[in-house]
Every structure is written in structure tokens, then in C-alpha cells.
Structure 1
Amino acid sequence: MKKLIFVMLAGLFATSVTAQETKTGWNFGALPAITFSTDQGFQYGALLNLFDYGDGSIYPEYYHRIYVEASTFTKGSSILRVMYDSDYLLKGIRYAVDLSYMPDFAFDFYGFNGFGSVYNSDWTNDKQDSPLYRSRLFYAMKRHLFRFKNDFIGSIGESNWHWNAGLSIQQFKPGVLDVAKFNKGKDPDDPKYLKEVPTLFEYYTGAGIISEEEADGGWITGVKGGISFDSRDQRACPMKGIW
């Protein structure tokens, strides 16, 4: 998908509830962001980080952190996310939870082979007068994602080694690209008007490479476990260590 994106960091500000060098209580930082996509339209929203430093005795570490992100494109795609992490909610365990809903009406789809997938730029380049051109969104599909993720990290003795565990629940809802949504407000003579042509996702479903059951989406539950090494002196702004 051809995109023209402008990122405007319109402002970054942080405030503290005290005038002390060591921060205490709840502090926050916010960042508005605006982007533009040729097909998705304008994106507008904001990011917010909340930190609880308590009495400041562990600063620059924090007791609790809450991250909130909310943004949407004028054509409908959105990001709605809330994340929380803390070393103090569960004694001796670092816990992080992430709740997200991300409807995407032009999700990139290049096939199943990762970097080995064949990508033909002539099929999506509408700036060239080429008989091979199909659609700027030939490699796109609709995909709505709901995600609920939990991660747990605990120390192994007094060392820098940690055990890791996690549980995630995700719902995927794929679908065929809604060309009418992206053509809304455009005249058929507009060079950016998208023609109704089959996308790669439709070829995959039509050929049975993606089964009807898979094309309908569904729920996926994931469980993970492992070990990790973390020797950072602090997480907020580490000055030494390996992670």
C-alpha cells in the first residue's frame, strides 16, 4: 500500500506533582500525534503515560505505570490500547497486562512466506502508466484484532536470571478489503479512485490456500514460558547492564 505519512510531534510535555528533584506521587507524560495516509486518511489521537513514584524512595523506578493509547483514521482504522505494569501488585513478581482493540481496514497482507514472499511493485504503483497495475491496495485486507495479554516475570534466587510466563487471548476477524470505504468522497475520474479488483487475500481464499474456517477468523489462546537475563541497574533509564 502506497502511503504518504507525515508525523507531527505537536508537543511533548510532562508534569510533576512536586517541585523536588526526586519525583513523588503520580506523574504523567502525554504525546499527541497526527499522521496522514493516502488511503486511510488522517489519523489523530494521543498517547498517555502515568507513573506512580509513591514517596520517591525508589525513583527513578516506579510502583505502577499505566499506558493509554487512542487514535483513529478518518477511514475507520483505529488503535485503542491500555497497558499496566508493576513490580508491586504481586509480591516478588513483575506483572504486565495489555488490553487492545485494533480494527484495521487496510492491513498489509503479502502472503505466507515472510521475506520470501513475492512482491510486485508494478501491481500497486498507480504513478506509472503500466498495464500491470492492479490496485494500490492489492496487498491489503481487512483485519480486526482484540488482544488480552498477561506477562509475569520473577527472579531466580539473587541472580540476574528470571523466569518468564505469559497467557494471551486474541480474536482475529479477517475480511475482504472494502473498496467502497476508501472510495467514499472520490469521483470515479479521480486518479486515486480504486478499482474493484481481486486482492491477494481473495486469491488465497479463492484457491483454498486460506480455508473458509481460517478466513472467518476466531480465537487463539497462547501460553508461554522461559528464562531471561537482565542486569540493568534500572529500567526507566539504564546506565549499565545487559538485557
Structure 2
Amino acid sequence: MNKLLSCIPAPIVIFYFGFLSVFHPGTIHAISHDSLTHSQNKKGWNITPLPEIAYNSDLGFQYGIYCELYNFGNGSNYPNYTHKLCAEVAQFTKGSGVYWFFYDSPQLWKNHRLSFDIAYLPDKMCDFYGYNGLLAPYSKSQNNSFYKIDRKQIRAIFGLQGKIAGSLNWMAGISWQKMMIGPVTDKKYADAENLYNLYIDAGLIHKNEAKGGNVLQWKAGIVYDTRDREADPTRGMYGEAIVAFSPDWIDRNGYSFIRTTLCISYYQPLWREYLTLAGRIGSQFTPFGKVPFYFLSDINTYYIRQTYSEGLGGISSLRGILRNRIVGNGIGWTNIELRLRSKVIRLLKQNWYIGMNPFIDAGTVFQSYRSKLQKEGNNPIIYSGKNEKVHVSAGIGLKLVMNHNFVLSAEWGKAFNREDGSSSIDLGVNYLF
């Protein structure tokens, strides 16, 4: 649900409720005096469908629907749910699309949590900016397809958690992803120069990976969780430590590797439930093996909060920075934001509140990927001659939250360095972390 231009009315709805809460507090109080922690409990099934209408000059018009379905059981554990299902079906007129289904249940199996994700994600204009952050130059003067590839992704992820003690859980999982890669197929870019082709010619993309391939991963790790609620915590901590082993059992092209991912999020209340300082710090590196180029941007996580979990750069990692601008064998990132929330209002038999979140994001590559070959190519389009630095962006977001779980998000971010892009407006669901 990452859309640069969109016609859905979500931002209008958010601004409308924001206007009422700031300038007409009496209107909100007349609806309800509930606080965030004393809103009316929800029971049974609740469904939230959201139409998607968007336009992109390269992809065409988009049309589709996004839906979240929650079951709160008898309501005794609200706002925690018993079952959650997400589905998105959306199509662009020029061939790209999103077909995604996600299921999560903390109570399907006693003392265990089960989740799985299935997706088909064709992307006719997928971003590819090269390797190692600032080592790969970026110029706005290039044609619209220069930093693009045609990528089709099939994804299936299964995860299971069980208790160790208290707030500490073990996790295990398996995932399979198939990437089908090629140059942009739009006829108007048929004769245009493309970074993907230049990387193949320079040997930075090997022949046996240029068209994509399969990645099978076995995962194990630990999860620590003391949050008061999952979708929008006001206090507590959440951490994941994951080791993923990818054996070369399918393609047999020599791309076996181990990846380790550590990510910790912290939530500190500053003013009751209405203002929270939220921070996240994460790292991922490759201690062993060779990662194929088409899997370089993937970020391991137990719980996928957006349609994609990749970067650095974009709606799922560093807002305001070009998607997948910062990739390497090892990456680190941090996000800090203030989360301001209104009082809960009761409307259409649902609990609603709005939020505002000014933020600052940062990330870098600390373990390079094929950098020696990148430098030896002596091509200013491939190697900038610069050293990698920390990439920083900042911005602000608005949220519309229903039943403390469904979060409709609009965020504007601006990169500090013009080589990371300028600014972007992203519409989606959920908080970043």
C-alpha cells in the first residue's frame, strides 16, 4: 500500500478528525469521554475494507481493495486479538500488482503463536539503485527507467512462536521466495540505458543470478515482548534476534548463506497514553556465504507490517529515502518518533482515535557487497568515488486508528542528502514499528 499519488480519501478523513480534536474539542467530548485505555471492549469479528485507487505515470491506474479482519473473542483480552487476517488485491493497468494474504493468531494453539504470509507481487518498475549506498551514484537526470527492473516475486512465509519464560519466546520458521528478474519491458524505454544492464556488463550481476532465482530460508531465534499492545504500543519493549540459513537446494548456483538480524523497539510514555517516545534500532549482516543480488534488499522479520519487508529506503524502513537505495551484505538502521494521540471517540460502534508522529530515520551499509569489483570498473555511473555515510531523513505522519489495531497511515518524509532522493508521501497501514 505504498502509493506516491493516491485518490483514496484517507488523508482527508485523518485531517478532518484532527481538525475537530484540535479546534473543536467539545465536539469530540460530546461523542465520547473514553480514554485510550478505557474504550469499549470489542467482541467477535470486525472487518475493515478499504478501496484503493491510485495513479502512477509509469505503472498506470491502480484499482483494488485492502481488507483487515479481526476476531477479539469474548473481548476479555481487547485490544489484543485472537485472529487477524489481512488481504490485498490490487492491479495497475500496465501490469504491476499486489496479491497478498496474511494470517496471525496468538491463540490458535495454546501457548503458541502461528502466522503465515502468501503473496504474488509483480512489479514492472521495481527500484534498483546499485550496491553499497553512496558508493553507487544517483542522478535525477537519468531517464525514468534507468533505476528500474521488472521483478515478479512469489513469497510464502511460515512462523511459529512458543514461550520460554515470562516475556521471552522462541521462534522458528521457514520461507520460500522466488524472484523473476528482467529489464523494464515498457516499449517506450526499449532503447533507454539501464543500470541493471550496466551491472550485468560489469560483472556486478552474475549471469546465473541475472534472471532471478529461488531462496529457501530456515529461521530460528528469540522474541522478547513487554508491549502493552501490539499495533500502537504506549509502553514496553519488543526485540527480535533471528538467524536464517539459506541452503542452495533448489537452483544450485552457489548461493548459500547465513544472515543474522537483530532489531529492538522501545516505547516510553511521556504523557500518560497520549504521548509516547518510540525508538527502533536494527542491524542485519551476512557472516557466511554468498547472497544473490536479487535478495540483497530483503530484511528478515517475524512479523511483516507492510506488504514488503525490504530496504533500506522506503515505507518499511527509511521514510523519504528512495526505496532500496541502501543495500549491502550488512546494514544498520534506526528510527525515532514522537507519537501524539487524541482521545478515543465512539463512532459507528467502533473505537477511533487519531495520531501524529514526527520522526527521524537513519541507516547505513557497514558490510559491503561486491564493492571491490564496483570500484575497479572505473565507471562513474557505477562507482561514485565516495565513501559510505549515514543516510538520514525526517518527516511527519498522520494516523487514523480503529479499535487500537487497524492503523491507516499517511507519512511525508524528506531525505537530507539529494543523492537519497528528495521527498515522498506514502499511504499505507500500520506504524513502521
TM-score (norm 2): 0.45
In structure 2, stretches of 5+ residues that fail to align are: 14-38, 239-433
- The alignment covers a number of residue pairs equal to 209
* Equivalent-residue separation in structure 2 for 1:236 and 1:197 (angstroms): 44
**Structure 2 residue aligned with 1:107, among 120, 126, 144?**
126
* Equivalent-residue separation in structure 1 for 2:59 and 2:126 (angstroms): 10
**Structure 2 residue aligned with 1:22, among 29, 36, 41?**
41
* Equivalent-residue separation in structure 1 for 2:184 and 2:5 (angstroms): 24
The verdict on how the C-alpha distance between 1:233 and 1:105 changes in structure 2, with shifts beyond 3 A counting, is: same
- Check conservation: 1:179, 1:196, Cα contact below 8 A: no
The verdict on how the C-alpha distance between 1:116 and 1:160 changes in structure 2, with shifts beyond 3 A counting, is: farther
Residue 164 of structure 1: aligned partner: 171
Cα RMSD of the aligned pairs, angstroms, is 2.1
My pick for the range that moved more, 44-53 or 97-106, is: 44-53
Residue identity in the other structure for 2:100? R
* Equivalent-residue separation in structure 2 for 1:236 and 1:216 (angstroms): 37
* Equivalent-residue separation in structure 1 for 2:233 and 2:75 (angstroms): 18
In structure 1, stretches of 5+ residues that fail to align are: 13-19, 124-134, 184-193
* Equivalent-residue separation in structure 2 for 1:9 and 1:216 (angstroms): 35
Summarize deviations over 1:17-60 as a string: whole Å, max 9, x none: xxx94322211112222222111111222210001122223222
Residue identity in the other structure for 2:135? G
Would you identify which runs of 4 or more consecutive aligned residues in structure 1 move more than 4 Å?
Answer: none
TM-score (norm 1): 0.78
Summarize deviations over 1:66-93 as a string: whole Å, max 9, x none: 0001111111100100000001222211
* Equivalent-residue separation in structure 1 for 2:116 and 2:133 (angstroms): 29
My pick for the range that moved more, 213-222 or 230-239, is: 230-239
Residue 230 of structure 1: aligned partner: 225
Cα offset, 1:236, TM superposition = 4.5
My pick for the range that moved more, 108-117 or 36-45, is: 108-117
Residue identity in the other structure for 1:207? A
Are 2:183 and 1:176 equivalent residues in the alignment? Answer: yes
Question: Among the aligned pairs, what percent are the same residue?
Answer: 35
Are 2:206 and 1:206 equivalent residues in the alignment? Answer: no
Residue 131 of structure 1: aligned partner: none
**Structure 1 residue aligned with 2:102, among 83, 98, 113?**
83
- Check conservation: 1:61, 1:236, Cα contact below 8 A: no
Residue 128 of structure 1: aligned partner: none
Cα offset, 1:168, TM superposition = 0.7
Structure showing greater radius of gyration is 1
- Check conservation: 1:10, 1:32, Cα contact below 8 A: no
Residue identity in the other structure for 1:202? N
SS in 1 for 2:233: coil
Residue identity in the other structure for 2:51? P
Summarize deviations over 1:140-169 as a string: whole Å, max 9, x none: 111100000112222222x22222222110
Residue 34 of structure 2: aligned partner: none
